[in-house]
C-alpha cells in the first residue's frame, strides 16, 4: 500500500540542507562502525570457507575551530570464527566500492611476519592503526560506503572476511532513574518507577558540522498493570520546573501502548530532521542537566515518572548479534549467545531489565546468558541488554517467545520488490495472520500498531502500515549488513519469520502502479525548480511526456548508502548526470534522485531509464 503522489512537493535541495548546519567549535568526536565480515563479500566470493566475524572500527577524531581534522586515532576490536587453526596476517580498511578490490589505506600492521594465530579457529582481534592519514580519513568519513574492512589469512592472503562500511555513529548515551518523586508536584498516589537510557547519534558533514541525527529512547518501566502510556518525551528545563517538549517519540492519546503486566521495556528511535529538533539535540549534548525525560499515562497525563539528565554522554554498550531471534515456550530456561561491543570488566547482561546468569569466553569474546524459565512459560517478548560499570544500558534486542515456530513470511524492498533490503530503507513483509487489523501510522512512526511489531535482528522496526497480509516498515537505523532475521509478532502472540539479506544497498524506485513495474511515481519541474507539479506517470502506469530542460525527481529507497558516487543514469543510449542522490530528508526511509533532461534526449520517445 503506497501512494507517493503526495510527495511531489517534498523536495530537499542544497539551500534547505544548508539551513540545518550547526556551527562547529574545536571538538573531538569518537565514531563507531560495526560490521559483519564474511567470505561471501570477498571479490570473488569465497564459497568454500565456513567462517564469520564481527568487527568494530573505532575512530577518535580531533578538529580545529573551522572543522578541519587535525588528528585521529583508529583501532579495531572484533571476533572471528574459523573451522580450525587460522593465521591472520592482515587487517585493513581498503578504499573501494562493493564488488571491487581496492588499495589499503589504513593498516593495522599485521603481515606475513606479524600474525595472530588462533589454534581452534576462534579468537579476539584487537589492533591499532599506527599512523592515520588525515586526507584519506576525510574521504572515508565523507563516504563510508566507498570503503571496506578486510581480514586476510595465510590461506587466503587476498582476503578471507570482508564487509562494506555504511556509516559511522557516535552512540552517545546517558542513563537516568525515573521516579514519581521527580514530577512537579511529586506524585504520592502511584507506585511507579523506571530508568531511561537516551542514546544520541548526531550526523555530521565533512567539516564536522551537525546536519541531523537520531535519538533513541530505551525505557524500563514498572507501572500498574494495564496502564496506558500516552507520552514519552525529552523536555528542556531544570529539576523542579515543568517545561516544554523538545524531542517527542510520537506516543499520544491516540497512539499509545498498554502495560498489560505492568513491567516492560520500550525502545524507540526518532530521526531528527527539523532545525528545531536538531538544535534541541545539540543543546542536550552540551548541557544535559537542563533536560529531563518524562513518561505520561492516561491516569497522569502531565507525567507519572520523570528523571533529570546530567553528567556527560558516553559510548553505550552494543549487542551486535545473538544466536537466536525467537524462542519457544516451555518449562526450562534457554541459553542465548551474544556478541557485544563497548564492554568494560563490570558489564553484565540483563533480561527484561534484571541481571541473569552468564559466562564470558575471553577467547571468543562471546557472552552466553540464561533466559530464565519463568519468562518462557507463556508467549511474550523478552528483552536482552548489556549494562556496563557506569550504569549505561544498551539498546535492547527483543526476542519473541511463541508456542511454535510460526509461519513463513516473505520480505521485499517496497519500491522495486527486490529480495535485498538496506539499512534505513522501506521494506514490506508478506504473509498470513501478520496483524489482527488494518491500520496506518501517523506522522511519527510507532514500533507497534494494534499490538503488531516487526523485529529486524531483534530491533523493533518503525511501522508505516499493518494488515493481516502485508506490513510496511523501515529497516532500523544501524542494522548491520548481512543475513537478517525478520520476526513479526501480532497481538495474539502468533509469529511469522523470514530470513533476508541486508546489503549496504537494496535500491528500488517507486512506480505509479506500486508494484515495481511501469512508469515511476516521479515528478518534474517545468519552471526550473520553482514547482514540481508535473506527474511523470498516468494512473494506469504509462509514462507522461516530459520536455528537455525539465528537472525530474525520482523517489525510491535503499540507495542512500550507495558506495559509487555520484549515481549515474542512462536512457535511450544517453548517459545522464544526476544532480542529487540520497536521503529525501522529509520522509522516513525515502530516497531521492534528481536529474535534468538533456538536449540529447530530444525526440527519443519512450525510453527505459537505468540508474547505476
Tens of pLDDT along 279-335? 999 999 999 999 999 999 999 999 999 999 998 999 889 998 899 999 999 999 999
Domain total of the chain: 4
Question: Is residue 362 included in any domain, yes or no?
Answer: no
CA 418 – CA 273 distance, rounded (Å) = 28
Confidence class of residue 10 from pLDDT cuts 50, 70 and 90?
Answer: very low
CA 51 – CA 36 distance, rounded (Å) = 11
DSSP 332-368: S-EEEEEEEES--TT-EEEETTEE--EEEETTTTEEE
- Collect all residues with Cβ–Cβ distance below 8 Å to 69 and sequence separation of at least 6: 61, 62, 63, 134, 137, 138, 208
CA 273 – CA 133 distance, rounded (Å) = 32
Query: Taking residues 524-531, what's their average pLDDT?
Result: 90
Place of cell 580498511: 93
418 with 489, same domain?
yes
Question: Is residue 193 included in any domain, yes or no?
Answer: yes
Say which DSSP state 261 is in: T
158 with 255, same domain?
no
CA 602 – CA 599 distance, rounded (Å) = 5
**Is the pLDDT reported for residue 11 higher than 80?**
no
**Residue 215: closest CA among 142, 290, 278:** 278
Confidence class of residue 363 from pLDDT cuts 50, 70 and 90?
Answer: confident
Question: Is residue 397 included in any domain, yes or no?
Answer: no
CB count within 10 Å of CB 404 equals 10
- Residue where a domain stops, chosen among 502, 529, 548: 502
156 with 184, same domain?
no
Between 588 and 106, residue with greater pLDDT: 106
For 301, the grid coordinates are 497525563
CB count within 10 Å of CB 66 equals 10
Question: Is residue 261 included in any domain, yes or no?
Answer: yes
Question: Is residue 478 included in any domain, yes or no?
Answer: yes
**Residue 161: closest CA among 482, 424, 537:** 482
For residues 233 and 245, is the Cβ–Cβ distance under 8 A? yes
* CATH assignment at residue 290: 2.60.40
> H-type helices in 439-515, by residue range?
none
What pLDDT shows up at residue 478?
87
Number of alpha helices (DSSP H) and beta strands (DSSP E) in the chain: 3, 47
Question: Is residue 442 included in any domain, yes or no?
Answer: yes
DSSP 180-227: GGGSSSPP-S---EEEEEEEEEEEE-TTS-EEEEEEEEEEEEE--TTE
CB count within 10 Å of CB 594 equals 18
What pLDDT shows up at residue 7?
32
248 with 140, same domain?
no
- Residue where a domain stops, chosen among 106, 135, 164: 164
**Is the pLDDT reported for residue 5 higher than 60?**
no
Query: Taking residues 432-444, what's their average pLDDT?
Result: 92
Question: Which of 20-24, 275-279, 405-409, 442-446 bottoms out in mean pLDDT, i.e. has the lowest?
Answer: 20-24
196 with 259, same domain?
yes
* 8: enclosing H helix or E strand: none
What pLDDT shows up at residue 580?
78
**Is the pLDDT reported for residue 17 higher than 50?**
no
Q: Highest-confidence range of 52-56, 132-136, 571-575, by mean pLDDT?
A: 132-136
For 46, the grid coordinates are 569465497
**Is the pLDDT reported for residue 499 higher than 70?**
yes
109 with 236, same domain?
no
Q: Percent helix, strand, coil in the chain (nearest 5)?
A: 10, 45, 45
Question: Is residue 238 included in any domain, yes or no?
Answer: yes
Question: Is residue 82 included in any domain, yes or no?
Answer: yes
30 with 153, same domain?
yes
Question: Which of 291-295, 326-330, 388-392, 566-570 bottoms out in mean pLDDT, i.e. has the lowest?
Answer: 566-570
For 138, the grid coordinates are 576525510
Q: For residue 591, what are the domain limits?
A: 511-611
**Is the pLDDT reported for residue 563 higher than 80?**
no
For residues 449 and 441, is the Cβ–Cβ distance under 8 A? yes
- Reduced to 3 states (helix: H, G, I; strand: E, B; else coil), residue 64 is coil
Summarised one tens digit per residue, pLDDT across range 181-231 is 999 999 999 999 999 999 999 988 878 888 889 999 999 999 999 999 999
Q: What is the pTM of this model?
A: 0.87
What pLDDT shows up at residue 560?
87
178 with 308, same domain?
yes
For 278, the grid coordinates are 536538531
For 220, the grid coordinates are 524500563
Confidence class of residue 578 from pLDDT cuts 50, 70 and 90?
Answer: confident
What pLDDT shows up at residue 291?
98
What pLDDT shows up at residue 264?
92
Percentage of residues of the chain with pLDDT beyond 90: 70
Strands 407-408 and 495-502: parallel
520 with 492, same domain?
no
Between 90 and 271, residue with greater pLDDT: 90
**Residue 572: closest CA among 522, 606, 611:** 606
131 with 113, same domain?
yes
Summarised one tens digit per residue, pLDDT across range 79-129 is 999 999 999 999 999 999 999 999 999 999 999 999 999 999 999 999 999
**Is the pLDDT reported for residue 595 higher than 50?**
yes
Query: What sign results for the dihedral spanned by CA atoms 103, 107, 113, 114?
Result: negative
What pLDDT shows up at residue 8?
28
Query: What sign results for the dihedral spanned by CA atoms 373, 375, 377, 380?
Result: negative
177 with 233, same domain?
yes
50 with 143, same domain?
yes
- Residue where a domain stops, chosen among 315, 345, 361: 315
Q: State how far the alpha carbon of 479 is from the alpha carbons of 36, 60, 165, 355, 361, in Å.
A: 10, 22, 12, 26, 25
For 561, the grid coordinates are 548508502
- Reduced to 3 states (helix: H, G, I; strand: E, B; else coil), residue 264 is strand
**Is the pLDDT reported for residue 262 higher than 80?**
yes
587 Cα distance to chain centroid: 15
Strands 305-308 and 314-315: unpaired
**Residue 219: closest CA among 257, 191, 181, 186:** 257
Q: What is the mean pLDDT of the chain?
A: 90
Amino acid at each position: 500500500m503506497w501512494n507517493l503522489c503526495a510527495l511531489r512537493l517534498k523536495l530537499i535541495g542544497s539551500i534547505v540542507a544548508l539551513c540545518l548546519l550547526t556551527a562547529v567549535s574545536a571538538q573531538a568526536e569518537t565514531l563507531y562502525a560495526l560490521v559483519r565480515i564474511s567470505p561471501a563479500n570477498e571479490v570473488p566470493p569465497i564459497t568454500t570457507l565456513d567462517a564469520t566475524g564481527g568487527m568494530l572500527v573505532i575512530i577518535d577524531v580531533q578538529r580545529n575551530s573551522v572543522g578541519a581534522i587535525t588528528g585521529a586515532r583508529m583501532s579495531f576490536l572484533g571476533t572471528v570464527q574459523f573451522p580450525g587453526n587460522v593465521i591472520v596476517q592482515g587487517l585493513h580498511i581498503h578504499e573501494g566500492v562493493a564488488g571491487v578490490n581496492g588499495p589499503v589505506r589504513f593498516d593495522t600492521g599485521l603481515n606475513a611476519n606479524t600474525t595472530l594465530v588462533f589454534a581452534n579457529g576462534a579468537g579476539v582481534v584487537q589492533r591499532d592503526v599506527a599512523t592515520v592519514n588525515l586526507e584519506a580519513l576525510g574521504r572515508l568519513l565523507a563516504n563510508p560506503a566507498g570503503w571496506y574492512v578486510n581480514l586476510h589469512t595465510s590461506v587466503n592472503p587476498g582476503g578471507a572476511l570482508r564487509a562494506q562500511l555504511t556509516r559511522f555513529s557516535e552512540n552517545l548515551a546517558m542513563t537516568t532513574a525515573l521516579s514519581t518523586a521527580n514530577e512537579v508536584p511529586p506524585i504520592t498516589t502511584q507506585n511507579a518507577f523506571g530508568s531511561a537510557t537516551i542514546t544520541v547519534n548526531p550526523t555530521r558533514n565533512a567539516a564536522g558540522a551537525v546536519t541531523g541525527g537520531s535519538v533513541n529512547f530505551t525505557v524500563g518501566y514498572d507501572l500498574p498493570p494495564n496502564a496506558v502510556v500516552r507520552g514519552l518525551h525529552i523536555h528542556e528545563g531544570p529539576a523542579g520546573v515543568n517545561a516544554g517538549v523538545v524531542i517527542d517519540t510520537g506516543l499520544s492519546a491516540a497512539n499509545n501502548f498498554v502495560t498489560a503486566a505492568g513491567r516492560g521495556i520500550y525502545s524507540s528511535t526518532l530521526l531528527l530532521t527539523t532545525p528545531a529538533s536538531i538544535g534541541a539535540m545539540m543543546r542536550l549534548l552540551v548541557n544535559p542537566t537542563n533536560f529531563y525525560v518524562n513518561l505520561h499515562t492516561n491516569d497522569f497525563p502531565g507525567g507519572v515518572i520523570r528523571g533529570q539528565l546530567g553528567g556527560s554522554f558516553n559510548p553505550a554498550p552494543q549487542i551486535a548479534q545473538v544466536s537466536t531471534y525467537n524462542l519457544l515456550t516451555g518449562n526450562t530456561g534457554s541459553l542465548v549467545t551474544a556478541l557485544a561491543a563497548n564492554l568494560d570488566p563490570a558489564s553484565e547482561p540483563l533480561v527484561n531489565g534484571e541481571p541473569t546468569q552468564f559466562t564470558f569466553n575471553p577467547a571468543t569474546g562471546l557472552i552466553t546468558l540464561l533466559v530464565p524459565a519463568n519468562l518462557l512459560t507463556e508467549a511474550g517478548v523478552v528483552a536482552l541488554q548489556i549494562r556496563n560499570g557506569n550504569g549505561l544500558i544498551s539498546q535492547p534486542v527483543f526476542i519473541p517467545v511463541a508456542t511454535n515456530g510460526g509461519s513463513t513470511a516473505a520480505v521485499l524492498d517496497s519500491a522495486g520488490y527486490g529480495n535485498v533490503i538496506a539499512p534505513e530503507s522501506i521494506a514490506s513483509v508478506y504473509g498470513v495472520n501478520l496483524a489482527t487489523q488494518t491500520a496506518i501510522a501517523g506522522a511519527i512512526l510507532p514500533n507497534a500498531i494494534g499490538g503488531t511489531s516487526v523485529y529486524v535482528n531483534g530491533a523493533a522496526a518503525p511501522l508505516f502500515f499493518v494488515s493481516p497480509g502485508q506490513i510496511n516498515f523501515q529497516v532500523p537505523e544501524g542494522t548491520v549488513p548481512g543475513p537478517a532475521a525478520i520476526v513479526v509478532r501480532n497481538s495474539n502472540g502468533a509469529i511469522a519469520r523470514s530470513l533476508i539479506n541486508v546489503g549496504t544497498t537494496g535500491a528500488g524506485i517507486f512506480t505509479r502502479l506500486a508494484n515495481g513495474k511501469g512508469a515511476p511515481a516521479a515528478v518534474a519541474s517545468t519552471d526550473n525548480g520553482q514547482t514540481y507539479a508535473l506527474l511523470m506517470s498516468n494512473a494506469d502506469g504509462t509514462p507522461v511526456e516530459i520536455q528537455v530542460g525539465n528537472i525530474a525527481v525520482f523517489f525510491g529507497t535503499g540507495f542512500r548508502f550507495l558506495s559509487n558516487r555520484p549515481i549515474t543514469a542512462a536512457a535511450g543510449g544517453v548517459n545522464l548526470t544526476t544532480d542529487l542522490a540520497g536521503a529525501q530528508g522529509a520522509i522516513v526511509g525515502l530516497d531521492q534522485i534528481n536529474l535534468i533532461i538533456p538536449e540529447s534526449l530530444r525526440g527519443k520517445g519512450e525510453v527505459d531509464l537505468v540508474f547505476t
